[in-house]
Amino acid sequence: MRKVAIAGVGHTPFTFAAEKSSVELFAEAAMDAITESGLTSKDVQAIYLGNVLGDFSEGQAMVQSYIADDIGATNVPATRFEGACASASLAIRDAFMWVASGFYDIVLAGGVETSAKMGTPLATRTFAMCHDAHYEYPVGLTFPGFFAMLAHLYTSKYGVSLDRLKHQMAQVSVQSHKYGIHNKYAQFQKEITVDDVLKGFMVCSPLQLLDCCPFSDGAAAMIIASEDVAKRLTDRPVYITGIGQASSGKLSAQKDYAPRIRAREVSAKQAYDMAGIGPDDVDVCELHDCFSIASIIAAESLGFAEFGKGGELWETGQADRGGKVAINISGGLKSKGHPIGATGASQVVDIVHQMRGQVEPERQVEDVKIGLTDTLGGDGVLCNMVLQKGW
């Protein structure tokens, strides 16, 4: 298997309802990635795209084909991946494997979504279809409801009081906004306080408004290339050294494991083992904080804290710059935004920028060598990637 690197990246601002279409948004990110790599569209051998709700938000299926045409990659095979929030991560994982195998040398991968333009009611309703369609979706389960249940399970399983957990979750959101304010791509560039969170509108107990990420519009893309090609294209290739993916199935299949998500732990181990590292080696992590409780659960399953003690990372500053592991210094989904099909790619782009020292000074983590991305899709389709600096 060949070594694989990221040679160039592109990212649009994450916004409320965008005037541009999904094709236009992804084309913007894609052309930035292609140009940064010193390539042209004609050099791209395949396109792998994450997208979830395009059929509903724009009435547009087959968006990947129109993107290929729009950027001038005529007759290039283009494939759409749907894995809820992990859609772009699945696209990147497959791109990695195709390049590692030697079948392709240069692949464009990423994701796009225009869920914000749908409005919250329709976006929430359609996105809830990523739950089990026979038993979960028909009874009204939405993702705020799913993560609210995990929060209550967390308190009962680990003996953490609900009041303390709510304060820990508030600190997660506060830290995300502290960095999002400095991220030029972020949807919410406003600092918040613990009191702001705790006094906010109740969405689904115990999750309040500022515990929840927004729906967003935006795109992110990258050029994934073989090592020899990447070295010709850039003097700062960032290598993908570990990948993982697993699936957990419907909630009834996870009842004995919740609030932990088994797919995350399986895929994280795959990625760590493939890269030959462990959690203590990770300098910076972009993890899936769709809701503040999700950050705490993810941090534990990724090995950054003992089970039941993940919230202490934020209480003690160990999830901040200079702490044990810097988590969501992009602002995360909570502050940067969550264009569903693009989120996994956005996480990777920010890690690449961190490794190159290209983020804003207020967000730069010192001496980054290893970064991890963690993207959760639906009730448990999970993709992890370990990125390592290679120059």
For residues 275 and 278, give the distance between their C-alpha atoms in angstroms, rounded to a whole number.
9
- Altogether, the residues listed in the chain come to a count of 391
Orientation angle between helical segments 143-158 and 120-127, nearest 10 degrees: 70
376 beta partners:
382
Catalytic residues: 85, 338
Largest CA distance in the chain: 58
What type of residue is 207?
Answer: L
The b/e string for 375-391 (b: 16+ C-beta within 10 A; e otherwise) is bbbbbbbbbbbbbbbbe
Residue pointed to by tokens 């115990």 = 206
**Which tokens belong to 117?**
């333009």
- Among 376, 197, 189, smallest CA distance to 286 is for 376
For residues 335 and 279, give the distance between their C-alpha atoms in angstroms, rounded to a whole number.
25
For residues 57 and 95, give the distance between their C-alpha atoms in angstroms, rounded to a whole number.
26
Under 8 Å between Cβ of 219 and 257: no
